[in-house]
Amino acid sequence: MRNQQATRLIFEMSRPGRRAAVLAPAELPVPSAEELLPAEHLAAGPPPLPELAEGDVVRHFVNLSTQNMSVDTHFYPLGSCTMKYNPKRNERLGALPGFVAVHPLQDEATIQGWLKLLHELQGMLAEISGLPGVSLQPAAGAHGELTALMVAAAHFRARGESRDVVLTADSAHGTNPASAAMVGYQTRTVNSGRDGLVDIEDLRAKLDDRVAVFMLTNPNTLGLFDSRIREITSLVHDRGGLIYLDGANMNAILGIVRPGDFGADLMHYNPHKTFSGPHGGGGPGAGPICVRDFLAPYLPRPIVVREGDRYRWDHEGADSIGRVRSFFGNMGVLLRAYAYIRTYGGVGLREVSEDAVLGANYLLSRVRHILDVPHGQRCMHEFVATAARLKKERGLTAMDLAKRILDYGFHAPTVYFPLVVDEAVMIEPTETESKETLDAFAAALFRITEESVDSLRSAPHSTRISRPDDVAAARRPITRWKPE
């Protein structure tokens, strides 16, 4: 029988006067809020928070947690997001008191271990990318994009160049044009060719002296490595522009090729995707960036520098774009990335990518008999299939597949992205999944394509909510609970 407590809002369970604990009166006088704070800063009354016993609170949230899908409970073939299992070892290291019980305003002499760790991480990220300038400040991948474009803009201002255009690929993550717009750039879209790679002639046609940056992902969102990347970067550099690499797909090339070596000038990492850290639910995240040496003076400050056997924050830098967030970055995520890199080492990181590419190609070989894969007989860490033929023949959509796969115990793959593929089904198995898991996922997809469309239209059948009205939810969102 379904647990009724798990279906109720915590506000609905509230009863006046219920508490987790009732404390004895204080032995010493306790000043009131009115005595401590100016009257203009006092609320008219207490906030309408739910009142419950401790047991009710614990059961409520534990019951909610059992309804979640997570990388600890299910296979997450979520293309472009790299939802791989994160080692619990790194979580234990991240919870050590010496890391979590530190205040960002402590004296540098008391956090030498932290500073050494961050300094070494800066060096690791520089070595992996082939780009020597590093900032750990950005709070997420998109924030890293924004920060890198601000660095590029500062570079061109210093040179007296009024470039105002950013090129983005038609298969790019949506954050690419959004970040460019936030920095004040106009965007032009560079089309893909029939092979799913950058159309070189279209790039030539859109390159001019107004172009500041070409933002591209390599491997791209179709899971393809662009073999003409050196030609692409040379074309942009010859016109005085910069190459920004969206580092979302670094999981495919660790230790195999470095973005700086194939011509990238700036890039960001998603450490929670490429290395290790919690992922999902809007955070926490980090988006450190790496840049070429001539762009390093514009990086956000502070950065960590070493002087002899001591480490310190370097706040200097007349050309710096300044802080892009409070304090120094999301230290918890950066710590987990450091632990991940130190655990694997250079050889291990290469094996991570080799295993990710192997798993993706194995799954591609199983899935292409069920769904068409329009681009590439082989892929890197992910591939994009299409349900277009099934939709035409049977009315079966990518969304139908995504919803029904939940009933088989798998999280849905990414659907309807990238936009260059009709009825896209984007699949990324990562390096952490076994052959048995990949076989089971392929078998489930096959069984779903043989089911009746009427049954699929009402899927999922095993979750509390089947298919909410997405349009109504977007147009009339309920953002506040009002008590009866």
Could you read off the pLDDT of 237-247 as tens digits, one per residue? Answer: 999 999 999 99
| E strand or H helix that includes residue 183 | helix 175-183
| C-alpha–C-alpha distance, residues 365 and 362, integer Å | 5
| C-alpha–C-alpha distance, residues 39 and 477, integer Å | 35
Give residue 185's pLDDT. 97
The residues facing 192 across adjacent strands are 198
Q: Residue 381's closest CA among 262, 270, 287, 235?
A: 270
Q: Residue 221's closest CA among 252, 199, 188, 183?
A: 252
Indicate the DSSP class of residue 115: H
Give residue 468's pLDDT. 84
Could you read off the pLDDT of 323-342 as tens digits, one per residue? Answer: 999 888 889 999 999 999 99
pLDDT at 84 over 80: yes
Give residue 328's pLDDT. 86
Could you read off the pLDDT of 23-80 as tens digits, one per residue? Answer: 888 899 999 889 999 999 999 888 889 999 999 999 999 998 888 888 889 999 999 9
Could you read off the pLDDT of 90-143 as tens digits, one per residue? Answer: 999 989 999 999 998 999 999 999 999 999 999 999 999 999 999 999 999 999
Q: Residue 313's closest CA among 93, 150, 132, 122?
A: 122
Query: Confidence class of residue 276 from pLDDT cuts 50, 70 and 90?
Result: confident
Average pLDDT across the chain, whole number: 93
Give residue 160's pLDDT. 97
| C-alpha–C-alpha distance, residues 435 and 442, integer Å | 11
Give residue 50's pLDDT. 93
Query: Confidence class of residue 1 from pLDDT cuts 50, 70 and 90?
Result: very low
Could you read off the pLDDT of 173-182 as tens digits, one per residue? Answer: 999 999 999 9
pLDDT at 484 over 80: no
Q: Name the segment(s) of the chain with CATH classification 3.40.640.10.
A: 89-344
251 dihedral zone (left: phi>0; alpha: psi -120 to 50; beta): alpha
Kindly indicate whether the domain formed by 351-472 is annotated with CATH number 3.40.50.880. Answer: no
Give residue 236's pLDDT. 98
Torsion of CA 465, 471, 475, 477, to 10 degrees: 10
Indicate the DSSP class of residue 198: B
Q: Name the segment(s) of the chain with CATH classification 3.90.1150.10.
A: 351-472
Query: Looking at the domain that runs over 89-344, which CATH code has it been given?
Result: 3.40.640.10
| C-alpha–C-alpha distance, residues 371 and 389, integer Å | 8
Could you read off the pLDDT of 279-314 as tens digits, one per residue? Answer: 766 567 899 999 999 999 999 999 999 999 999 999
Could you read off the pLDDT of 182-198 as tens digits, one per residue? Answer: 999 999 999 999 999 99
Mean pLDDT of 199-211: 97
The residues facing 216 across adjacent strands are 245
Give residue 70's pLDDT. 86
Could you read off the pLDDT of 392-436 as tens digits, one per residue? Answer: 999 999 999 999 999 999 999 999 999 999 999 999 999 999 999
| C-alpha–C-alpha distance, residues 235 and 446, integer Å | 44
Give residue 67's pLDDT. 84
